């Protein structure tokens, strides 16, 4: 009597391996995309922080009450507040900018708000 696997058993193993391989590829793709989304969110936070630091070092540029100014990524890089951002999908984020608005002052507070517009080759912040 010969020992071995039947054709049906071999096909069953191949099907199981194919299903597991498909699940692995889908899971890895999901993790990679989630990681890239996290990079974009970190870039937005970093860009906002760079704009805040810029105004600390350039108090003469704080916008007037009920007005706003725009600081581009190029301006923030030139003032050494941030390094150039690279799109994790390739390319760059050179069109990014921050709009700094000032409402009516409250007590000793300038009442500043920051709208970050991260614009990369494959990503754009909401509302930009």
Residue 98 to residue 113: CA distance in whole angstroms: 10
Residue of 113, 103, 96 lying closest to 52 (CA atoms):
113
Instruction: Give 54-76 pLDDT, tens digit per residue.
Output: 999 999 998 988 999 999 999 99
Length reported for the chain? 128
Domain residue ranges in the chain: 8-124
The whole-number pLDDT of residue 122 equals: 84
C-alpha to C-alpha distance for 105 and 66, rounded to whole angstroms = 9
Indicate the SS3 state at residue 108: coil
Mean pLDDT, all residues of the chain: 89
Predicted confidence at residue 100, as pLDDT, reads 95
């Amino acid at each position: 009597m010969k020992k071995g696997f039947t054709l049906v058993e071999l096909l069953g193993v191949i099907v199981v391996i194919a299903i597991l391989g498909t699940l692995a590829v889908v899971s890895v793709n999901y993790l990679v995309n989630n990681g890239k989304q996290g990079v974009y969110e970190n870039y937005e936070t970093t860009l906002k922080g760079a704009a805040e630091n810029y105004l600390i070092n350039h108090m003469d540029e704080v916008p007037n009450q009920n007005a706003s100014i725009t600081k581009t990524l190029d301006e923030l890089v030139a003032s050494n507040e941030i390094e150039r951002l690279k799109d994790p999908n390739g390319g760059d984020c050179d069109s990014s900018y921050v709009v700094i608005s000032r409402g009516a002052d409250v007590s000793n507070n300038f009442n500043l708000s920051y709208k970050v517009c991260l614009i990369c080759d494959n990503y754009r912040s909401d509302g930009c």
